Amino acid sequence: MVDRLDEAFQFYQTAIQLRSQRQEVLAANIANADTPGYKARDVDFSAALREAVGTAETPRLPDTRLSLTSPRHIPAASSGTGPAPLLYRQPAQPSLDGNTVEMDVERVNFADNTARYQASLTLVSSRIKTMLNALQQ
Amino acid sequence: MSMTNIFQIAGSALTAQSQRLNVAASNIANADSVAGPDGQPYRARQVVFQVAPVAGSQPGQAVGGVKVATVLQSQAPFRLEYRPDNPLADAAGYVAMPNVNVVDETLNMMSASRSYQANVEVLNTAKTLMLKALTIGQ
């Protein structure tokens, strides 16, 4: 039962987590709008979500660790999963100092992401209400 | 917890932009300061911004706030004005004035204040979203 509930909310949890991660990246872009050489970053949301819920066409490899046989070995590890990979934005008008943040683009994306984040929250809230209703029957 | 990182990121940008505003104010205020404490005319100052990665972020995945790396003094030559009656004038009657470009500084000030506003808006939005997230299931 709890498993089923967890499964029912898993998708929304992942989506909200990715939205808040993207929000952070966009906030960093706006914060660095005047930093010379800063390259604007973004997350490909739908690809990241597909990957997070495990329906990506090419799933990422699992974490790989070097086996340590001596205390002097370096515990190197490559993480396969984790936060969605950050991509670089293609600027329409890069500035002379190497900064590729375009304030209008960032603001639009920020507002868009905010609206979608709130939509996800509303959806998950109504989903919880549905579940509660079903429980009370 | 990425939402709290937004506060850090936007907060650092507010600090950096207000420092830039401070420097621009100092430059404009001293646009005519012929002699400073060292006896030299005032030199225009500029802040240099740098990315400050958020603690705990992986390399290559680093998003971050801003910090002021250094405050540079402009090495542009001083503006020479012909004022033979000024006690600081040289033999030819010229006074070395600060190398502040008031128009540049005004633009700098406007740009800094716009960036500041954008970051305040980011902060407000992040706050709204966090409060909204607290109402899940209510």
- Residue B8 has a CB neighbour count (10 Å cut-off) of 18
- What pLDDT, on a 0 to 100 scale, did the predictor assign at position B72? 93
Looking up tokens 């920020």 gives: A110
- Mutating which of B51, B109, B114 best tests the A interface, going by the most A Cβ atoms within 10 A? B51
The pLDDT, as a whole number, for residue B73 is: 92
> Is A48 in contact with A14 (CB distance < 8 Å)?
no
Q: Which residues in chain A are closer than 8 Å to B128, comparing Cβ atoms?
A: 114
- B88 falls in which pLDDT band (50, 70, 90)? confident
Could you report the per-residue pLDDT of A16-71, keeping only the tens digit for each?
989 998 999 999 999 999 999 999 999 888 888 888 877 766 666 666 778 888 88
B129 and A31 within 8 Å at the Cβ level: the answer is no
> Cβ distance B10 to B126 under 8 Å?
yes
Alpha helices in chain A (DSSP H): 2-31, 45-52, 103-136
Contact (CB<8Å) B2/A103: no
Give the nearest partner residue to B137 out of A85, A118, A125, using CB atoms: A125
Restricting to A residues 98-127, those with a Cβ less than 8 Å away from any Cβ of B are 103, 107, 110, 114, 117-118, 121, 124-125
Non-local CB neighbours of A81 within 8 Å, separated by 6+ positions: A60, A62, A63
Mean pLDDT, residues B41-58 = 84
Any idea what DSSP says for residue B135?
Answer: T
Find residue B97's DSSP bridge partners: B79
Which burial class, exposed, middle or buried, applies to B53 when counting CB atoms under 10 A from its CB (0-12, 13-18, 19+)? middle
- What's the pLDDT at A58? 61
Q: Which of A31, A36, A110 sits opposite B65 (nearest CB)?
A: A31
Give the pLDDT mean for B107-131.
93
Quick check: B122 contacting A, CB < 8 Å?
A: yes
Check pLDDT > 70 for residue B69: yes
Amino acid found at B44: A
A117 and B6 in contact by Cβ < 8 A? Answer: no
- Highest mean pLDDT: which of A27-31, A94-98, B36-40? A27-31
- Residues of chain B with Cβ-Cβ distance to A110 below 8 Å are 122, 125
CA atoms within 13 A on the CB side of B50: 8
| Complex ipTM value | 0.82
